Structure 1
Amino acid sequence: MVGIVIVSHSRKVAEGVKELELQMAKNVPIESAGGTSDNELGTDLEKIILAIKQVYSEEGVVVLFDLGSACMNAQMAIESLTDEMQKNVKVLDVALVEGAITIAVDSSIGKGLHRIEEAVKKLCLHKMS
């Protein structure tokens, strides 16, 4: 299954989204990377890297985020991975809660990374600019 990482400036938000996803798709590997290392608001590059590695498989990982700098840190985390791992990790810019649930369910039914990305785009779950 495709793994999922939730990156949020808030530890509680990231954990809450993970909890909701697991209610919908119990067997999907999901990790949260919310807040800083001292649990303040912000994001932590090392938390994101660890979360990606914890859910990583050759089937891929989707990283979702809440705000701009979370996306930037997610991209930096991916750049720190091996070239082989980088090919299998995607950051998707979707509505966090709705996107996370859709992706978790799609992963649980065996959709691959590219099919998940296509499905999310078709559902118009992208954030409004």
Structure 2
Amino acid sequence: MTVVGIVIISHSRTLAEGVAEVARAMGVGQAVVEPAGGDSEGGLGTSIDLAEAAVAAADGGDGVLLLADLGSSVLTARTLIEDAERDDLLLADAPLVEGAVAAASMAATGADLATVHAAAESAFEHRKTR
């Protein structure tokens, strides 16, 4: 079974790796979740090269969902999509951790890209104080 790949784009390598670790665990070993955090020298920032490499590593043929933390990470994700000229690379408008967990859980079932994307974006509905 191939699954939709997931890429976590963050300003922090540590944050991207941590979110990817949690999402992989929730994807019960079936979800492919790759981190793309920090700049190319290991500092805070974003790197289009790291993000492209993560997309290539996550892409098993069923598409790749991008989740980004803020600011230039979102711009990096949008640039990837524009430059890729493909329709199976999507950015989710979702909270980073919750969206990644929801996406990984859904991807692990073999769901298609649209369903994984919807699962990530549905994470906004899961409130912590209600």
TM-score, normalised via structure 2 length: 0.87
What is the aligned counterpart of 1:3 among 2, 5, 8? 5
Q: CA RMSD in A?
A: 1.6
Q: 1:4 to 1:37 in 2, by over 3 A?
A: same
Question: Quick one: distance in 2 between partners of 1:31 and 1:125?
Answer: 25
Pair 1:45-2:48 in alignment: yes
Dislocated runs of 4+, deviation >6 Å? none
Quote the residue 1:100 is aligned against: 100
- The CA deviation at 1:125 is 4.8
Q: Paired residue for 2:22?
A: 20
Residues 125, 75 of structure 1: CA spacing in aligned structure 2 closer, same or farther, 3 A cutoff?
Answer: farther
Q: Assess if the C-alpha contact under 8 Å between 2:26 and 2:105 holds in 1.
A: yes
- The answer for unaligned runs of 5 or more in structure 1 is none
Match of 1:31 in 2: 34
Output the CA distance in 2 between the equivalents of 1:125 and 1:63: 19
Unpaired runs of at least 5, structure 2: none
Q: What is the correspondence of 1:54-93 to structure 2 with a 5 Å cutoff?
A: 54-81=57-84, 83=85, 86-93=86-93
Query: How far apart, CA to CA, are the structure 1 residues paired with 2:23 and 2:122?
Result: 20
Q: Does 2:112 correspond to 1:112?
A: yes
The answer to whether the 8 A contact 2:14-2:37 is kept is yes
Cα distance in 2 for partners of 1:12, 1:123 equals 22
Give the fraction of aligned pairs with identical amino acids, expressed as a percent: 37
Secondary structure of residue in 2 paired with 1:93: coil
**Contact (CA 8 Å) 2:94, 2:123: kept in 1 or not?**
no
> Number of matched residues?
123
Aligned to 2:124: 124
